[in-house]
Amino acid sequence: MSAHELIVGGQRSGKSRRAEKLALAWPGRVVVIATALAADAEMRERIAHHRASRPAGFETLEAPLALSAALQQTDDAAALVVVDCLTLWLVNWLMPVSGTPDAAGWQAERTALLGLLPRLQSRVVFVSNEVGWGVSPLGREVRDYVDELGRLNQDVARRCGQLTLMVAGQAWTRPVEDASDA
């Protein structure tokens, strides 16, 4: 079974803090793969806060689109890789600030990620939002995004050994029942 973990929850539920806690307990190298793009002032502030609060010694690699390549670049049996987060990674593909979504590029990158996970030597901790628990969005583009994130979270979870749901800063962790290497 895979040693990877998917941490999901709502906004401000403690997902990143939980991933950081796991990373601080890791005895080896820690790499954070950040997927956010600084497209506006508020996001620039969020990114700056994350950078400033990241523990010393954590390496950071920015990969807003090429997550598979970043995971391959950091692959090392002694490393823990924190991907923060799948939610923004998907936004960068399907709702880019600068233009039209690259649906073919997204499908290729998604396929590459899912195929790569079982082969990675690094332990990977993914952070992602659970956005499908609220009211169904009115716009088609947002509904499509919510559906795609739900499918992505399910597919990543199946390739992880553990799933953690964060609720109000509390972790609910369990083994993934239908974990597979497919």
SS3 letters across 69-122: HHHHHHCCCCEEEEEECHHHHHHHHHCCCCCCCCHHHHHHHHHHHHHHHHHCCC
Residue 50 annotated in active site? yes
Amino acid at 72: Q
Task: Say what angle helices 86-94 and 140-158 make with each other, to 10 degrees.
Answer: 140
Q: Name the active-site residue from 17, 29, 46, 50.
A: 50
Q: Which residues form the catalytic set?
A: 50
